[in-house]
Amino acid sequence: MKRLLQLYYFAYGSNLHKEQMQNRCPDSIPIAKATLADYELTFKGNWRGNGVADIQPKDGDSVTGAIYKVSKFDRESLDRYEGYPRLYNRHVIEVVREDTGEIVKAFVYRMLDHYMLTPPGEAYFSIIADGYSDWGIDIKNLETANFKLNLV
């Protein structure tokens, strides 16, 4: 039986992968594609030296992701997975649902500022790409974020 669902979560990285998200957060319900304005997708290094997905403020840019409805139990699971609060902090943001145009308040994880820009590993990038496919998101922004870091 599903626990009480009451929180919206905006996924933009590996949690777009629906099967992975369902395994990690069994109460989660995929809701809709959504856009976060004035942010860009990037990757920063974690403690293993691999780049993991992050979002950073950038006027005029946007990040396409997805909204899930999650339980408090799921949020605790996400907190552990995301390394909250030592790797990522949790923030409340507003995203626009692609299907209805509705503005939705959701929580999102943003990496702490002191982590450096770092390209992702192939396996991790592939999981995110599969998530983009799950949601029908154009992979161009993901490829652009990765390409920029490989030029550095």
Active-site annotation, residues: 82
Average pLDDT over residues 30-49: 91
Output the known binding site for substrate. 9-14, 124
Integer distance in angstroms from the first to the last C-alpha of the chain?
Answer: 48
Residue 93: alpha-carbon gap to chain centroid: 12
The pLDDT assigned to 5 comes to: 62
Average pLDDT over residues 41-61: 90
The pLDDT assigned to 50 comes to: 86
- Please determine, for residue 1, whether its predicted confidence score (pLDDT) is greater than 60: no
Least trusted range by pLDDT, from 36-45, 47-56, 98-107, 128-137: 47-56
What the chain holds in terms of domains, given with CATH numbers, is 5-151 (3.10.490.10)
- Please determine, for residue 152, whether its predicted confidence score (pLDDT) is greater than 70: no
- What does pLDDT average to over the chain? 94
Handedness of CA 66, 56, 41, 36 (dihedral sign): positive
